[in-house]
Amino acid sequence: MSNFSIGIFDSGVGGLSVFKELMLKLPNENVIYFADSKNCPYGIRTKDEIIKFSVKAVEFLIQKKCKVIIVACNTATAAAIDYLRQHYPIPFIGMEPAVKPASLKSKTRSIAVLATEGTFNGRLFKETSNKYAKDIDLNVKVGNKLVSIVENDLINDSESIEYIKTLIQPLIEKNIDYLVLGCTHYPFLIPILQKILPRNINIVNPAPAVIEQAKRILMKKSMLNNSEDKAFYEFYSSGDINILERMVFEIAGEKIDIIKL
């Protein structure tokens, strides 16, 4: 199974922040990516809806003979990963806001997490926060509109930048020194955030830790791809493919056709 693909799914282009990290750290691995753009954003959906969408994505990736699946969506992880692990034998790697490292490293004892409401309501976030952020001023902020900003290619739009400033300013006033990105879409906003945030505030992108976890699981199960052949990437979308196509080109450095399902 070592030459089988790693499956990645997200509600849209956000999971590309995870794919980008995978390309760097696991360059031999083949990847099949499914963007459920038709149903994006997941943050406004009910738990039952998200489970239904996640099951559809997983069954598609299993049909493609993926060896592990990365749920590259914090909202889907929060709502569906327990269900997926109970119903499918394949290993799943989920997203989790990096509250632990931020809490342990914080010098001001004040951190912030930017995420969707679904992520904040999930078991993983609550358990991690209760365990590692008891003595921390934990400031949470729902990133309304941020997914849409990324999905609609409005990152550098002046109105988007002003909106992000308005969203972030109250967190800056809380004397935070870590801003945890709790949605895979948000790393694409890092260039904007770096211009807004004071230099002492560290931005935490969870994607590197997720790929390290994927690597550990692949090694443990002897499924790392050690082939010297060039890795191949397949991309599928349930909705619009234009922005996905452009972003894949920017990340992969080559044109990869997106197949619309």
Q: Which two tokens stand for residue 102?
A: 């931020």
- Does residue 6 have a pLDDT over 80? yes
Same domain assignment for residues 165 and 195: yes
Same domain assignment for residues 25 and 67: yes
CA atoms within 13 A on the CB side of 140: 17
Asked if omega into 41 is within 30° of 0 (cis), the reply is yes
Structural domain including 230 reads 6-94+208-260
* pLDDT reported for residue 1: 76
Same domain assignment for residues 114 and 59: no
Per-residue pLDDT band for 122 (boundaries 50, 70, 90) equals confident
Give the separation between CA 101 and CA 256, rounded to whole angstroms: 35
Per-residue pLDDT band for 144 (boundaries 50, 70, 90) equals confident
* pLDDT reported for residue 44: 87
pTM: 0.94
Per-residue pLDDT band for 56 (boundaries 50, 70, 90) equals very high
Contact 155, 189 (CB under 8 A): yes
Q: Per the domain annotation, does 239 fall within a domain?
A: yes
Helices (H), 64-111: 74-87, 99-105
The residue out of 205, 220, 251 marking a domain boundary is 205
Strand partners, 110: 137
Per-residue pLDDT band for 121 (boundaries 50, 70, 90) equals confident
Residues recognised as catalytic: 73, 183
- Does residue 228 have a pLDDT over 90? no
Q: Per the domain annotation, does 1 fall within a domain?
A: no
Least confident of 35-39, 118-122, 205-209: 118-122
Cβ neighbours of residue 120 under 8 Å, at least 6 residues apart?
113, 140, 142, 182
**CATH number of domain containing 178:** 3.40.50.1860
Give the separation between CA 189 and CA 177, rounded to whole angstroms: 18
% of the chain surpassing 90 pLDDT: 91
Q: Using only the alpha carbons of the chain, give its radius of gyration.
A: 18
- Does residue 201 have a pLDDT over 90? yes
Cβ neighbours of residue 214 under 8 Å, at least 6 residues apart?
6, 22, 26, 68, 70, 93
* pLDDT reported for residue 97: 83
* pLDDT reported for residue 2: 86
- Does residue 101 have a pLDDT over 80? yes
The more confident residue out of 6 and 228 is: 6
